[in-house]
Structure 1
Amino acid sequence: MRTWIKNTLIAALGASVALGGMAVASTVRDGCGWHGHGSMSEADMAKFRERIIDRASSELSLDATQRQHLVALADTLQAQRQSFMPAGSHPREQLQSLIAGERFDAARAQSLVSEKTEAVRNASPAVIAAAATFYDSLRPEQQQKVRDFMARGRHHGWRG
C-alpha cells in the first residue's frame, strides 16, 4: 500500500478513535450517556464538541486554516455518527428487541449489523478525506504531537 494512503487511513482512524473516545469518556464522566441518565442533548454535544476543538487548537497551536480543517473533520464525524445512529434510534431498544421473544432474532441482528456496516462504508470516504485534509495541513511538529497523543492512549490526554 502506498505510504500516503496508509498514513491517511491511519490519521483518519486515529482522529475517529480519538474524537469518539473523548466523546464516550465525556458522557461517562459527566454522568450521562451509557452509565447515566440518557444520551447527551444536542446543546451538550455542541458544547463538548467546541471544548474539544478549542483544546486541540490550543495544544497544537493551530492557525485559522488548520482550525477550519479540524472543524470540518468534526462536522464530518458528526454526520457519520448521525448516519450510524439516525434520530429516534435507540441502540438499547434495538438490542432488547433481539431477545424480546423466546428465540434470539438472528435475522434482525444480521440486518442491524448490515445497516450499521453500510452506514460506515458510505460515510468513510468523507471522513478519510476530512482527516487527511486536517492532518496534511499540520506542520511536522504538530503532526508529531498528534502521533505522540495517539501513542499515549486514551487515558493520558494531551499532556500525558
Structure 2
Amino acid sequence: MTVVSSVKDLDKLTMTFVAEFAAPVDRVWQVWADPRKLERWWGPPTWPATFERFEFEPGGQVRYHMTGPDGTKARAWWTITAVEAPHRLEFDDGFADDNGEPVDPKDITHGVVTLEANGAGTRMTTVSTFVSAEQLERMAAMGMEEGMRLAMGQIDIVLKE
C-alpha cells in the first residue's frame, strides 16, 4: 500500500495522509490534474468517482459523484483555491445535492495536497482541515480515514499505465 501514515488530530482539526510513490512528481501530479486519472482512484474501490465538471484552476468548480455497489450516488463538490503545478493543490470540499450544488456551503473541509521529490519517487501529503471537532468526528465515523487509505492505494495502478 502506498499510504505510509494517516493521523487524525482533534486539536488541529486535521486529518493527514502521507503516501509515497515510485514515480516522479510530475507524473503523480497528473493523478490530480487529469479528471480521467482522478476517476480511477478518487473514492474507495467499491465507490468509484465520476467527474462531471472539472475546472482545474484557482476559482474553478469541480462536481463529481461516487457510485456505491447498490447504485447509490454520493455527490460532492470542490472549489479549487490554489494550483501550483506540479507541487501544490488546495481546494474546498463539501457534499452536494442532486444537481451537484453545495448542500451547506459552511460545512466544508479544506484540502491541501503537496508533492515533493523523495529519492527517485514522490511523497504526497494530503491534509484535510475541518471547521469543527464535530465535523471531523462525523467524517471519521463515515469512514473517511479508511476510505482515503483505500482510494490512495489505487494510485500505483494508475501510475503504471
TM-score normalised to the size of structure 1? 0.31
Larger CA Rg, structure 1 vs 2 = 1
> Whose relative contact order is higher, 1 or 2, with alpha carbons under 8 Å and at least 6 apart?
1
